[in-house]
Structure formats: structure tokens, C-alpha cells
Amino acid sequence: MRKVVAITGASSGIGAEFARRLAPDHDLLLIARREDKLLELAAKLTEQYNCEVETMVADLSSDAGIAAVAEKLKTHPRLTILINNAGFGARGRFWESPLEVQDQMHMLHVMATVRLTHAALQNLVAQDSGAIINVASVAAFIRSQGAVSYGATKTWMTTFTEGLYLDLKGAGSRVRVQALCPGFTYTGFHDAMGADRPNLAGSRFWMTAEQVVDASLNGLLLNKVFVIPGWRYRLITALLPKLPSALRLQMETVLGRRREAQILQQQAEAKQLAR
Ligand SMILES: NC(=O)c1ccc[n+]([C@@H]2O[C@H](COP(=O)([O-])OP(=O)(O)OC[C@H]3O[C@@H](n4cnc5c(N)ncnc54)[C@H](OP(=O)(O)O)[C@@H]3O)[C@@H](O)[C@H]2O)c1
């Protein structure tokens, strides 16, 4: 009987790619808010791979949405992997951006990850098999102006994953955990933020969702706790934490100012065009 992989944020981007990659060998539980996208993907995968796909519409920034999914994970008889992938970005100085957005981000990246992982582990630890993949970000290693909550919550995800690793190892469990830390990836993520891709990074820094998911699944086979797709990002994340924090923060301040100037210029050009 096929095992089931549960993927949050499966309606687009990296989550949808995980679903496509895992469908040939697994049944799927796909979770997100956009039902039309989930049903479209489920229909394609069922037809192509003859797998069983269940969809669940849930807002994972709400207590009710998280509780409904957690209940399902706790008792699912064939659960083998939970991928905590749902997430979003937001730009703007912390105190100038709506508190509601900061709250939603913490609920989604932190509380949903806590509660869904807790529920899934009730199930997986008892089976002594399976895995949890937490989709964090390279932003876990780099402080970035205008993205305070994003960096903080993604750093939390990596620390949480390492803690889980230690607890599972200590208990002699065979359940695996992974913090997947992608850099800039072509998905709907930056469109949702209204960000202009070329202004964020040069083309060599952009990866595809396929490359990110490949790296994650290869890493899972090798039992890697941290998976950072792309050698450029592996180099940056290896070097940055080694710098004295005062120097690192100075560099990040300069980069932040440069990016802010680019955004202001872009907004001015857009206004000029609109006239
Ligand atoms: N793209 C990048 O450059 C990049 C880099 C590093 C890390 N990441 C991380 O990768 C993960 C996936 O993002 P992506 O790049 O694939 O972006 P994406 O295409 O925008 O996908 C985000 C997914 O999260 C879901 N989601 C957002 N808010 C949700 C909520 N409140 N409840 C339930 N689901 C919600 C969205 O579905 P609905 O809108 O249908 O709910 C969507 O399926 C995120 O955690 C992101 O932080 C992305």
C-alpha cells in the first residue's frame, strides 16, 4: 500500500513541485487556501500517475485551519512525510507594515510548523519511520532590511529543525528531519510580494523549483539536516556566519540601503510612466 506525503502550500511553486516529484511513488495530501489550484493539480497527478490525491483547503495562519490539518496528520494511517512548505514574504520596515501581516507570518511559519510537526510526529515516531521537511530559506542566515519577520521566522525554522534532529537522535528514532533553505527561486513568491526579480538578484542567483526539490530529495536520501540548493548559496551561508557580527551587520546595512535605493528608483519610474 502506498504511503502518503502531506504538503502544505501545495497550490503553487515549490510545494506543487514536491507533489509532482513524489506522485509517482506516493499518495498525496495537498493543503493550501486556493481550492481551484489544488483540484487542478490533483486531477493532473491522478491522471498521470494513478495516485490517490486528497486536497484540504485550510488557512494555516488561523487556529482553526491549523487544527483541522493537525487532526488529520495525527491519525492518518499511511502518513510518511510532512512538508511544512506554506509561506509568504512581505517587504517594508517592521513598524511601518501592518501588524496583522507580521502576525499571519508568525502563525504560518512558526505556529503552523510547531503544531503540524507535533501532530505528525505522534504518528511517525510510533511507526519509527518517515520524515519532516521544513522549508526555511537562505534568509535564515542573512539579515535583510525590510524583511524582519521573514528572516526571524525562517531562522526559527532552522533552529527548530536542528532541535528536532537532536530529540529524535536522542530517542533512537529513525524519523528524519530536514531544513530546506532555498535562495531566490522562480515561483509565485515574489509576484505575491509585488517584487521585481531583476532588482533582487542577478540571473545566476535564481534557481528553479525543480532544482530546489531535487536537492531536497537527494538530501533526504543522504539524511542531511540542512539542504542549501546551489553552490553560491552554500558558499555564502558557510562564510557569512563566520564574520564578526559587527562587520556582517555593516555589510547587510550597505546592501539594504542599495536595495532600498533601487526600489525607490523603480517606484519613481513607475509613477513617471503612469503619468
Ligand atoms: N521563492 C523563493 O525565492 C523562496 C526562497 C526561499 C524560501 N522560500 C520558501 O518556500 C516556500 C514555498 O514558497 P514558493 O516559493 O513556492 O512560493 P509560492 O509559489 O507563493 O507558494 C506559497 C504557497 O504557500 C501557500 N500559502 C501561503 N499562505 C498560506 C496560508 N495562510 N495558509 C495555507 N497556505 C498558504 C500558498 O497557497 P495558497 O495561496 O493557495 O494558500 C502557496 O501554495 C515558502 O515557505 C517560502 O518562504 C521561497
Residue 238 Cβ < 6 Å to ligand 1: no
Is the pLDDT confidence value at 190 over 70? yes
Per-residue pLDDT tens digits for 208-248: 999 999 999 999 999 999 999 999 999 999 999 899 999 99
Q: 158 C-alpha to center of ligand 1: Å?
A: 17
DSSP 3-state of 178? strand
To test the pocket of ligand 1, the residue of 11, 40, 189, 213 to mutate (highest count of ligand atoms within 8 Å of its CB) is 189
Q: Is the pLDDT of residue 197 over 70?
A: no
- Residue 92 CA to ligand 1 center (angstroms) comes to 18
Give the Å distance between the CA of 202 and the centre of ligand 1.
22
The identity of residue 66, as a single letter, is I
Q: Is the CB of 197 under 6 A from ligand 1?
A: no
Name the grid cell of 194.
509585488
Specify whether the CB–CB gap between 209 and 17 falls below 8 A. Answer: yes
Residues 6+ apart with CB under 8 A from 19: 5, 7, 10, 28, 30, 41, 45, 53
Residue 117 Cα to ligand 1 middle (Å): 17
- In the structure, what pLDDT confidence band is assigned to residue 258 with cuts at 50, 70 and 90? confident
Q: Categorize the per-residue pLDDT at 38 as very low, low, confident or very high, splitting at 50, 70 and 90.
A: very high
Residue 184, ligand 1, Cβ within 6 A: yes
Over residues 23-29, the mean pLDDT reads 98
User: What's the CA gap between 156 and 60, in Å, rounded?
Assistant: 17
The DSSP bridge partners found for residue 227 are 180
Residue type, 271: K
Query: What DSSP letter does each residue of 37-79 carry, written as one string?
Result: HHHHHHHHHHHHH---EEEEE--TTSHHHHHHHHHHHHH-TTE
In angstroms, rounded to a whole number, what is the distance separating the alpha carbons of residues 52 and 80? 14
Taking 80 as the threshold, does the pLDDT of residue 199 lie above it?
no
Whether the CA torsion 220, 223, 228, 230 is positive or negative: it is: negative
pLDDT over 80 at 269, yes or no: no
| Exposure b/e, 243-266, CB count within 10 A at least 16 = b | eeeeebeeebeeebeebeeebeee
Report the chain's mean pLDDT, rounded to a whole number.
94
161 lines ligand 1 (CB under 6 A): no
Whole-prediction pTM value? 0.95
Instruction: State pLDDT tens for residues 91-144.
Output: 899 999 999 999 999 999 999 999 999 999 999 999 999 999 999 999 999 998
- The response to whether residue 185 sits with its C-beta less than 6 Å from ligand 1 reads yes
Whether 183 has a pLDDT exceeding 80, the answer reads yes
